[in-house]
Structure formats: C-alpha cells, structure tokens
Amino acid sequence: MADTGRIVDYILSLEQGHGKLCDEIGRKAREGHVPVIRPETAAFLKTMVAAVRPGKILEVGTAVGYSALLMAQVMPKDGRITTIENYGPRIMLAREHFCRANMEDRITLIEGDAGKVILELSDTFGFVFMDAAKGQYLSWLPGILNRMEPGAVLFSDNVFQDGDIFESRFAVERRDRTIHGRMREYLYELKHRPELETSIVPIGDGVALSVKRGCEG
C-alpha cells in the first residue's frame, strides 16, 4: 500500500484550483491558521454537491466562507445556501468574501449558536455540511435530521480528529478525552440509526457521509 502522504500529494497535483478568489481565500485562511476544509476534502465536497444537486444546502460552521463558496460553484443555478457562524471576526470576513463573489443573494449567513439556530430553522435541506465544533456534532444531530429531506446527504468533516479517533480514550491527551468520546458516539449513531446509510471515508481528516433514507412504501 502506498504511503498516505504520497497519495495526497498525487491527488493534489491533479487539481486545477477553484478560481482566483477561492484559491486566495483558502491560502490566506491556511496561512492564518483558520480551520478551513483540507484541499483533498474540498474536491470531494464539490463532487458530492455536484452529484446530489441540492436545491438548498445547510452549512454548520461558516468560518471565512471558503467552503460555502466552493459549494456555490457547483450547486444548481437556483440553489441556496444557509450557513451558520458564531465567531464575530470570521463572520465579517465571510460576508466580505460573499460580497466579492457576488453571492449575497444566494448565501444567507445566520449569526448565532448553531444548536439554537438549527432548532429555529423552518426550511428543509437536500445537503448538510457539518464543519464546526466537533464536540457538538452529536448534540446537533437530532435537529439536523429533522431538517433533512428524504434522500438528503449529511457530510461531516474532520471525524478522525487528526488520528485521535483511532486511539483508546487513555492514549489521547486528557484535555481531548471528552471530544474524543463524543466523536466516537457520533460515528456510532451515524452507523446505527435506522434512518441513515453511512460510510466513513478516509479522505483528509476523515469524512462521514450519510444519506437519509426515504419513506418505505
């Protein structure tokens, strides 16, 4: 089996980029240690959105707007994105980036705690991108499922926690044990909930890809 690093390097060598603005946003975010989606995962996210063609997308964790703009590139022309962020400085940058991309009318940024905002949403969505506080994925899941249409896809990023998820509870730093336990519970829920079909994909820092089953006749 080839070295994982070499596989990623080869995959990235094939990439053409995501356009001048998105490439600039991604580069500056990584230079500033802003947690944005990894390059190899970004390509997978765009491919999934292009395949599903959702009319409405929910993103939990806007950061500086990078992933929302990636999804906007491949969603249907009449598609809309609702994205949630709670950190003020990043909200300002995200709004600026949406404006520069002329996407203010297609991307709605809601400021606030995701747990509360999700419960207040009235729309249903065909695609959900989860990339925020990893320790909260499990608590957000019931609300997310209620907002997903039959056949909708839930794309949960960073589920490997930089490899910690494979270790026993006592092999990780004490300060990380709570989030380690919660992520393991989250992955268990995704794999065992009857309304979901889930695959764990070893790309980037790990992606859990879940499809909400339709009503059986």
Q: Per-residue pLDDT tens, the chain, 217 aa: give them.
A: 456 778 888 888 888 889 999 999 999 999 999 989 999 999 999 999 999 999 999 999 999 999 999 999 999 999 999 999 999 889 999 999 999 999 999 999 999 999 999 999 999 999 999 998 888 999 999 999 999 999 999 999 988 865 555 455 545 566 555 666 688 889 999 999 999 999 999 998 889 999 999 765 4
Closest C-alpha to 167, from 154, 158, 148, 180:
180
The pLDDT, as a whole number, for residue 217 is: 40
- Under DSSP, the state recorded for 216 is P
Residue 92 domain flag? yes
Instruction: Give the CATH number for residue 131.
Output: 3.40.50.150
The pLDDT, as a whole number, for residue 133 is: 85
Residue 159 domain flag? yes
Alpha helix segments (H runs only) across the chain: 4-13, 20-31, 39-52, 66-74, 88-100, 114-120, 137-146, 177-192
Q: Is 98 exposed, middle or buried (0-12, 13-18, 19+ CB in 10 A)?
A: buried
The pLDDT, as a whole number, for residue 179 is: 61
Residue 113 domain flag? yes
Residue 124 domain flag? yes
Note if the pTM is more than 0.85: yes
Beta strands across the sheet bearing 80-85: 107-111, 80-85, 56-60, 125-130, 148-157, 207-212, 196-201
Considering its fold, how many domains does the chain have in total? 1
Q: How many whole angstroms separate alpha carbon 186 and alpha carbon 14?
A: 33
Range of the domain at 187: 4-212
The pLDDT, as a whole number, for residue 176 is: 56
Q: How far is CA 142 from CA 136, 186, 190, in A?
A: 11, 11, 11
Please give the angle made by the CA atoms of 198, 203 and 209, to the nearest 5 degrees. Answer: 20
